[in-house]
Amino acid sequence: MFARACLCHSDGKTLAQLTWIGTAQGAIPEDNRVFQFASYSVTGGSLTINLLNADLVKRDVKSSAELAKSIAANKANPNLYREAMVFKKTRR
């Protein structure tokens, strides 16, 4: 899967807004549900991504203000993010 990412700020946090644009097989999204938000960190040769938990921050928010309000309302919840995904840099 391929995505574009841009940085955004919400409740004092820097998040990456991911826009999913397709797959290695050439498939493109068939609907408008292509956006996700994630926190991230880079340490050494590893990238850690934590996607927002859609059970807490609903997928149907209509504006960036509504999204920011939902994130702020859940900032203390330990389940704000889904399980971390860790990607390691490979050497060629």
In this structure, are residues 9 and 16 in contact, taking their beta carbons and an 8 Å threshold?
no
- pLDDT for 34 equals 73
Q: What is the mean pLDDT of residues 5-17?
A: 86
- pLDDT for 19 equals 87
pLDDT, tens digit (0-9, with 9 covering 90-100), for 27-86: 777 777 678 889 999 998 999 999 999 899 888 888 888 888 999 999 899 999 999 999
Domain boundaries in the chain?
Answer: 2-88
Beta bridge partners of 13: 10
Burial class (CB in 10 A: 0-12, 13-18, 19+), 47: middle
Q: What is the mean pLDDT of residues 11-17?
A: 85
- pLDDT for 88 equals 92
